[in-house]
């Protein structure tokens, strides 16, 4: 009898990349739903546009690169990228903005570097940053939470705004959009107001921005799910949130009127999403346990620094990209002690 | 004495493959009938190849030495039954590459006749001279039966400057299908214990720890019963958590004692020696009953066999015969693996014989050993790193092995990889990581071999140049002396000169040799004899394939 010979091990037990990415998508659902709940249909439409564009671009690039299309598409990594981008941009972003962001994410940041696994930078964040730099106005005009909004748009109206770029009833952009709480803090501080004055604004909730704090909670829940499923490890999110919180805490204690509270930092903007879903992107993050602590802490620190003294209100994307650059070096210097190589007994 | 709980340690990583032990433990060990032919490879161990002592047509007795061990790290081969030597020729042997090697083929006469070949039993072995016992182990051709097949006598020869305080007896058996050690421990615990006592006596160790994975409660109970407790006379039976690869020598030592065998080092560096339970049993048999290593227990299992169970098998029995004894293949048989599913190698057919290191034959169905889906790119998820018991960064090793950056793979400690397969097992991208490491290791040894060869050629060339120059110089000097002699009276003392030059040349030769020692690849220097032997074996296997090509290159 003849048998096939293959190299050991002869058994495997693995969920596969596709299954892992699917778990990430599941974990994103609560936070995304909250986003829709607080800011309307726009996010959902963006999501649709982004996913369609991502799959399209990914397939196109694979064809051009003469790679098998099917296995690469079924790993869901393009969908995850698209999703992250879609929930990071303002809900009423025009459709072309989303498509452009996805283009940079998938085509430039991912496929041109060789596809999944070969990209040194987090694709979603590359897309986001390109948009932020190129279209600062569109990227920083968020909607107010629904409870504060003067105008409510149903699904159809939202779609119309997104696809035609004009708000209904002759309303100007200024009438429907607003700043994010982080934005607000930044501008108002710049105008010489104190944090306590700024916080009197109805944009703010109990510890973060109104609505934002709850969205953050749902992301946190998704993150816990990923931890439980062992898709991610605790090091990066913990280090990132801790360093952000600690740093914010020190400055807050030093001058609570000039610096927002740690809770505000953690529960506003993209901090929670970034900690569990963006900074943990395995491809671009550090891989060693100690390295992940450094990497996460780096993102936390950079986030605080850029938010406080930099030119942009939220800084997760910049912080992540900067640390992406440092990841290989961090990995190199944080290799675990190999079994039998001295050290502790 | 009441035994208090034994403290256990951890090693990083490890995996929990699905267990299939119960398949082959339902029935006791069965003695496999005499096969039609017995095929005994000359080399069944790590180390120097044996030299045949018989030729076609010879009659041999059971237990007779038919191939002798030429060196220290080697183990003789004995006839596993009486009969006539049919031929001594190249036959396929169990090896991942499917290669052939010289084998002695015996046609059994069915009499199982020992003649004078049984070694005289050593009575009162616990008071016997350790040297006598060690020589017996050597004479009996015993090698590690856990699969590595390292000559056991070498491990029983501690150096005085490195005393051994503890013997570790490896009963962990962590591969998910193999049960031969389990069954041995259940059925022959007393003899295994006696084997252990012999080992302790020979290496002068006061203590022993027997590590048994907690998925073998019967074996544990039987051992405790045979010992008269779980902690008696310095021998301790300890249950360790079921986790692959706890059965790895270094891993088991870590778990049981917290001591970490240094990289490139041996257990003896931390005052230990580790033997498999099967080896201890073989040692007992050799010492107390005078029986050389001519049989072993083999697990025949998997959904591809009709009646999975354990057999006591004569070495040299063809694998196919053994499968027949287990009722033959089922229609679902899909892959045949020698060893376990994690580290064993796939056989292309069942013609090869059972050898000393064969612990298991796994005839697996497609469901049991599914084809791996096509590999996706590494997403650097770190799952492999978390699973690696050697604490390596498998993803980096993979990256550099793929890029053929052999300097970097060594920087990332490739040679600490024990090829356990945990990384491949957990990789979500289904990358055959271990395959890349094996490839890289082979390539590095190959490069090393070529470098040595080139160095030798260069040295030869330099010496030739030097010699030519020296001759020229000497000629010139002679001429000058002659001229001088013509002018003056001749002086005797100068006649010594050529001798001086010879000494000088010898000195230079030594110097040159020393200088070339520096070009060896990283972590291949400072190897232990055991590792050196392993490497040599691998080298020899490769060399074998290209023997013909090489033979003309010699000068
Ligand atoms: S487990 Fe596989 S995909 Fe994950 S880091 Fe290791 S090699 Fe890469
Ligand atoms: S095969 Fe090597 S690299 Fe992979 S887990 Fe085992 S020791 Fe680590």
The DSSP code sequence of B127-169 is GS-HHHHHHHHHHTT-B-TTTT--BHHHHT---TTS---EEEE
List pLDDT tens digits, range B217-237: 999 999 999 999 888 889 999
Mutation target among A3, A5, A6, A8 for the B interface, most CBs of B within 10 A: A8
| pLDDT for the residue numbered A167 | 60
Burial B73-96 (b: 16+ CB within 10 A, else e): bbbbbbbbbbbebbebeebbbbbb
| pLDDT for the residue numbered A166 | 67
Q: Is residue B135 very low, low, confident or very high in pLDDT (cuts 50, 70, 90)?
A: very high
Helix A16-39 / helix A77-88 crossing angle, nearest 10 deg: 20
Q: Is residue B88 very low, low, confident or very high in pLDDT (cuts 50, 70, 90)?
A: very high
Say if residue B3's pLDDT is above 60: no
Helix A95-102 / helix A42-64 crossing angle, nearest 10 deg: 40
Is B431 close to ligand 2, i.e. is its CB under 6 Å away?
Answer: no
How far apart (Å, rounded) are the C-alpha atoms in residues A282 and A297? 16
Say if residue B555's pLDDT is above 50: no
Mean pLDDT value across residues B376-401:
92
The DSSP code sequence of B198-259 is HHHHHHT-SEEEEEEETT-HHHHHHHHHHHTSSEETTEEEEEE---BTTTSHHHHHHHHH--
Cβ-Cβ contacts under 8 Å, A334 against chain B: none
Residues comprising chain B, all counted:
555
Is B388 close to ligand 2, i.e. is its CB under 6 Å away?
Answer: yes
Which residue has the least CA distance to atom 8 on ligand 1? B378
The DSSP code sequence of B344-363 is -EEESBS-SBP-TT--EEEE
| pLDDT for the residue numbered A269 | 82
Asked casually if ipTM beats, i.e. exceeds, 0.90, the reply is no
Q: Where is pLDDT greater, at B505 or A226?
A: A226
| pLDDT for the residue numbered B256 | 95
Mean pLDDT value across residues B71-91:
93
Alpha-carbon torsion (A17, A18, A21, A27), positive or negative: negative
B235 Cβ contact list (under 8 Å, min separation 6): B193, B196, B197, B200, B207, B208, B209, B210, B227
| pLDDT for the residue numbered A142 | 76
List pLDDT tens digits, range B21-77: 988 999 999 999 999 999 999 988 888 899 999 999 999 999 999 999 988 899 999
pLDDT over 90 percentage in chain B: 63
CA distance A127 to chain B (A): 20
Mutation target among A7, A110, A234, A341 for the B interface, most CBs of B within 10 A: A7
Q: How far is the CA of B417 from the centre of ligand 2 (A)?
A: 5
Q: Is residue B493 very low, low, confident or very high in pLDDT (cuts 50, 70, 90)?
A: very low
Q: At A71, list the tokens.
A: 């296995």
Say if residue B243's pLDDT is above 90: yes
pLDDT over 70 percentage in chain B: 87
Least confident segment among B158-167, B502-511, B539-548: B539-548
Q: At A93, list the tokens.
A: 């972003």
Residues of chain A with pLDDT under 70: 1, 5, 146-151, 166-178, 202, 206-208, 343-345
| pLDDT for the residue numbered B98 | 81
B328 Cβ contact list (under 8 Å, min separation 6): B305, B306
C-beta atoms surrounding A27 within 10 Å: 25
Out of B320, B339, B393, the one facing A335 most closely (by C-beta) is B393
What is the separation of C-alpha A214 from the centre of its chain, rounded to a whole number of angstroms? 16
| pLDDT for the residue numbered B245 | 94
Say if residue B442's pLDDT is above 80: yes
Say if residue B107's pLDDT is above 70: yes
The DSSP code sequence of B401-454 is HHTT-HHHHHHTTGGG-----HHHHH-TT---HHHHHHHHHHHHHHHHHHHHHH
Say if residue B543's pLDDT is above 60: no
| pLDDT for the residue numbered A101 | 95
Backbone angles phi, psi at B8, to 5 degrees: -115, 150
Q: With contact defined as beta carbons under 8 Å apart, do B27 and B309 qualify?
A: yes
Closest residue of chain A to B348, computed from CA coordinates: A3
| pLDDT for the residue numbered B2 | 46
Please identify which residue in the block is written with the tokens 């080992």: B199
Three-state SS across A21-34? HHHHHHHHHHHHHH
C-beta atoms surrounding B535 within 10 Å: 17
Please identify which residue in the block is written with the tokens 């183990």: B75
Region of B57 on the Ramachandran plot (φ > 0 left; ψ -120 to 50 alpha; else beta):
left
| pLDDT for the residue numbered A59 | 93
Work out whether strand B59-60 and strand B360-365 pair parallel, antiparallel, or are unpaired. Answer: unpaired
Which residue has the least CA distance to atom 2 on ligand 2? B417
| pLDDT for the residue numbered B545 | 46
Q: Is residue B539 very low, low, confident or very high in pLDDT (cuts 50, 70, 90)?
A: low
Atom nearest to B13 CA in ligand 2: 5
| pLDDT for the residue numbered A342 | 74
List pLDDT tens digits, range B168-216: 999 999 999 999 999 999 999 999 999 999 999 999 999 999 999 999 9
| pLDDT for the residue numbered B513 | 56
Intra-chain end-to-end CA distance of chain B, in Å: 68
| pLDDT for the residue numbered A178 | 67
Q: With contact defined as beta carbons under 8 Å apart, do B375 and A15 qualify?
A: no
CA triplet A321, A325, A326: central angle to 5 degrees? Answer: 115
Q: At A246, list the tokens.
A: 């600690």
The residues with which B365 forms a beta bridge, in sequence order, are B333
How far apart (Å, rounded) are the C-alpha atoms in residues B44 and B24? 25
Mean pLDDT value across residues B440-445:
90
Q: At B123, list the tokens.
A: 């009575």
Is A11 close to B96, i.e. CB distance below 8 A? Answer: no
Cβ-Cβ contacts under 8 Å, B265 against chain A: 340
Say if residue B515's pLDDT is above 60: no
Question: What kind and span of H or E run contains A66?
Answer: none
Say if residue B1's pLDDT is above 70: no
Q: With contact defined as beta carbons under 8 Å apart, do B220 and B212 qualify?
A: yes
Mean pLDDT value across residues B266-286:
95
Least confident segment among A291-295, B5-9, B217-221, B270-274: B5-9
List pLDDT tens digits, range B282-298: 999 999 999 999 999 99
């Amino acid at each position: 009898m003849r048998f096939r010979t293959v190299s050991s091990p002869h058994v495997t037990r693995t969920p596969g990349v596709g299954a892992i990415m699917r778990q990430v998508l599941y974990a994103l659902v609560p936070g995304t739903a909250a986003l829709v709940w607080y800011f309307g249909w726009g996010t959902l439409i963006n999501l649709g546009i982004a996913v369609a564009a991502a799959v399209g671009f990914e397939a196109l690039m694979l064809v051009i690169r003469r790679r098998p299309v099917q296995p690469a598409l079924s790993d869901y990594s393009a969908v995850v990228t698209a999703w992250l981008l879609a929930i990071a941009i303002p809900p009423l972003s025009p459709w072309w903005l989303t498509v452009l962001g996805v283009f940079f994410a998938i085509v430039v940041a991912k496929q041109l570097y060789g596809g999944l696994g070969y990209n040194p930078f987090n694709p979603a964040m590359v897309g986001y940053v390109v948009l932020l730099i190129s279209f600062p106005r569109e990227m920083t005009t968020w909607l107010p939470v629904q409870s504060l909004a003067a105008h409510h748009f149903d699904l159809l109206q939202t779609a119309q705004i997104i696809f035609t770029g004009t708000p209904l009833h002759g309303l100007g952009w200024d009438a429907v959009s607003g700043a994010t709480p982080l934005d607000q803090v930044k501008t108002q501080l710049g105008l010489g107001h104190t944090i306590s004055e700024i916080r009197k604004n109805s944009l703010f909730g109990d510890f973060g921005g109104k609505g934002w704090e709850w969205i953050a909670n749902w992301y946190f829940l998704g993150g816990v799910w990923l931890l439980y499923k062992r898709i991610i490890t605790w090091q990066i999110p913990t280090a990132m949130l801790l360093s952000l919180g600690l740093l914010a805490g020190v400055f807050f204690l030093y001058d609570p009127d000039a610096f927002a509270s740690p809770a505000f930092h953690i529960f506003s903007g993209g901090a929670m999403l970034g900690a569990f879903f963006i900074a943990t992107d395995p491809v671009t993050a550090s891989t060693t346990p100690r390295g992940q602590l450094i990497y996460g802490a780096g993102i936390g620190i950079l986030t605080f620094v850029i938010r406080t003294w930099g030119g942009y209100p939220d800084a997760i994307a910049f912080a992540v990209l900067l640390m992406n650059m440092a990841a290989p070096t961090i990995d190199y210097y944080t290799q675990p002690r190999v079994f039998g190589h001295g050290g502790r007994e | 004495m009441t035994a208090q709980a034994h403290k256990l340690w951890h090693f990083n990583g490890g995996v929990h493959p699905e267990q299939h032990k119960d398949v082959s433990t339902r029935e006791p060990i069965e003695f496999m009938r005499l096969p039609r032919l017995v095929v005994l490879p000359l080399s069944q161990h790590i180390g120097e190849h044996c030299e045949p002592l018989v030729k076609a047509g010879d009659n041999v007795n059971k237990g007779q030495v038919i191939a002798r061990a030429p060196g220290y790290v080697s183990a003789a081969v004995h006839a596993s039954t009486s009969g006539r030597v049919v031929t001594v020729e190249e036959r396929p042997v169990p090896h991942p590459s499917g290669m052939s090697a010289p084998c002695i083929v015996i046609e059994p006469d069915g009499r199982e006749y020992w003649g004078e070949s049984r070694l005289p039993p050593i009575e009162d072995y616990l008071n016997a001279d350790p040297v006598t016992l060690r020589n017996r182990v050597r004479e009996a051709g015993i090698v590690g039966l856990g699969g590595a097949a390292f000559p056991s006598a070498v491990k029983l020869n501690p150096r005085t400057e490195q005393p051994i305080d503890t013997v570790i007896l490896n009963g962990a058996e962590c591969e998910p299908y193999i049960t031969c050690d389990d069954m041995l421990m259940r059925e022959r615990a007393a003899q295994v214990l006696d084997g252990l006592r012999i080992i302790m006596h020979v290496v002068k160790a006061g203590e022993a720890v027997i590590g048994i994975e907690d998925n073998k409660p019967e074996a544990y109970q039987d051992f405790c019963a045979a010992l008269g407790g779980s902690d008696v006379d310095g021998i301790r039976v300890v249950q360790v958590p079921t986790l692959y690869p706890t059965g790895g020598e270094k891993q088991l030592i870590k778990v049981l004692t917290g001591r970490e065998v240094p990289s490139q080092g041996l257990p003896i560096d931390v005052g230990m020696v580790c033997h498999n339970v099967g080896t201890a049993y073989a040692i007992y048999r050799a010492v107390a009953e005078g029986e050389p290593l001519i049989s072993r227990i083999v697990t025949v299992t998997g959904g591809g066999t009709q009646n999975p169970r354990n057999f006591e098998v004569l070495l040299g029995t063809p694998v196919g015969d053994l499968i027949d004894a287990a009722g033959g293949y089922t229609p679902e048989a899909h892959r045949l693996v020698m060893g376990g599913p994690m580290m064993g190698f796939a056989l292309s057919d069942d013609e090869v014989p059972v050898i000393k290191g064969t612990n298991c034959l796994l005839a697996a169905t497609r469901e049991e050993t599914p084809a791996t889906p096509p590999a996706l790119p590494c997403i650097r998820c770190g799952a492999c790193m978390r699973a690696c018991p050697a604490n390596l960064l498998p993803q980096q090793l993979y990256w550099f092995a793929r890029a053929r950056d052999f300097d970097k793979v060594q920087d990332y400690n490739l040679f600490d990889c024990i090829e356990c397969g945990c990384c491949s097992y957990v990789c979500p991208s289904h990358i055959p990581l271990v395959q890349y490491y094996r490839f890289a290791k082979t390539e590095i040894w190959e490069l090393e071999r070529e470098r040595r060869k080139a160095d030798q050629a260069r040295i030869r060339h330099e010496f030739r140049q030097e010699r030519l120059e020296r001759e020229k110089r000497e000629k010139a000097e002679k001429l000058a002396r002659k001229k001088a002699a013509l002018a003056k009276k001749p002086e005797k003392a100068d006649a010594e000169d050529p001798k001086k030059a010879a000494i000088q040349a010898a000195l230079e030769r030594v110097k040159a040799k020393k200088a070339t020692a520096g070009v060896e690849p990283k972590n291949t220097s400072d190897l232990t004899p055991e590792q050196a032997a392993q490497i040599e074996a691998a080298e020899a296997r490769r060399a074998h394939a290209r023997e013909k090509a090489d033979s003309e290159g010699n000068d």
